[in-house]
């Protein structure tokens, strides 16, 4: 099984455990608040990729109940939880590598920590596809784990039961990709995330606007 399919299979299996651990994490709330501010259009059409159990979905709709939010994930069990947690959202199974099957136009795209599971080629395609889906002035939210890409590889859970291929990215590279695809950086955040290691992981959030 190739790395991405392993990732989908694992998240599908761990959906309920993920919900218990991450549904109420408040570390990124200020980044979601800023996203909501930048998406000024009333009743904006928002596409969420890799929605998981709908934790970001729920926060965004609480802040902006006017959003017409479509939450998607490649893992069916995650989508089931997201719909249960967000009855007013439209939730569906979608591989974020297949955005070309969607029709424009969206006012915003939210991609919360999909990039750690996407190869550089798939990451590039996601940004390219997002640019095509977004209207002029549309907003793109990206979060990722900041580190040397050479460190990318399989990482095993503490209990040794699950292994996922993790891709690391660096901000300068992603800023270049965003600029090349017609985006301008609107906001950048960095968060220290306790990862159970000697040093916390650096989580970076980029919010960009399509020209």
Per-residue pLDDT of 9-57, as tens digits, reads 898 988 988 898 878 889 999 999 999 999 999 999 999 999 999 999 9
Look up the domain containing 41 and give its range: 3-210
pTM: 0.95
Q: Which residues contact 49 (CB under 8 A, 6 or more apart)?
A: 72, 73, 94, 96, 99, 109, 110, 111, 112, 114, 126
pLDDT one-digit tens code per residue, 128-143? 999 999 999 999 999 9
Among 57, 110, 119, residue whose Cα is nearest residue 86: 57
CATH of residue 18: 3.40.50.150
pLDDT one-digit tens code per residue, 194-211? 876 668 999 999 999 999
In our burial notation (b when 16+ CB lie closer than 10 A, e otherwise), range 66-84 reads: ebebbbbbbbebbbbbbbe
Mean pLDDT of the chain: 94
pLDDT one-digit tens code per residue, 82-138? 999 999 999 999 999 999 999 989 999 999 999 999 999 999 999 999 999 999 999
Cβ of 125: how many Cβ atoms within 10 Å? Answer: 17
User: How many domains is the chain built from?
Assistant: 1
């Amino acid at each position: 099984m190739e790395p991405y399919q392993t990732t989908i299979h694992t998240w599908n299996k761990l959906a309920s455990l993920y919900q218990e651990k991450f549904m109420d994490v408040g570390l990124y709330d200020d980044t979601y608040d800023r996203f909501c501010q930048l998406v000024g259009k009333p009743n904006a059409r928002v596409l969420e990729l890799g929605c998981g159990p709908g934790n970001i979905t729920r926060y965004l709709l609480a802040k902006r109940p006017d959003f017409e939010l479509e939450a998607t994930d490649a893992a069916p069990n995650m989508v089931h939880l997201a719909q249960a947690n967000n009855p007013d959202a439209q939730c569906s199974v979608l591989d974020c590598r297949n955005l070309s099957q969607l029709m424009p136009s969206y006012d915003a795209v939210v991609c919360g920590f999909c990039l750690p599971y996407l190869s550089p080629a798939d990451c590039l395609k996601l940004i390219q596809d997002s640019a095509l889906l977004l209207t002029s002035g549309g907003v793109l939210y990206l979060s990722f784990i900041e580190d040397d890409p050479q460190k990318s590889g399989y990482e095993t859970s503490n209990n040794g039961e699950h292994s996922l291929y993790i891709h690391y990215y660096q901000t300068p590279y992603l800023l270049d990709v965003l600029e090349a695809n017609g985006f301008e950086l609107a906001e950048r955040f960095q968060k220290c995330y306790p990862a159970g290691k000697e040093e916390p992981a650096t989580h970076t959030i980029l919010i960009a606007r399509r020209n």
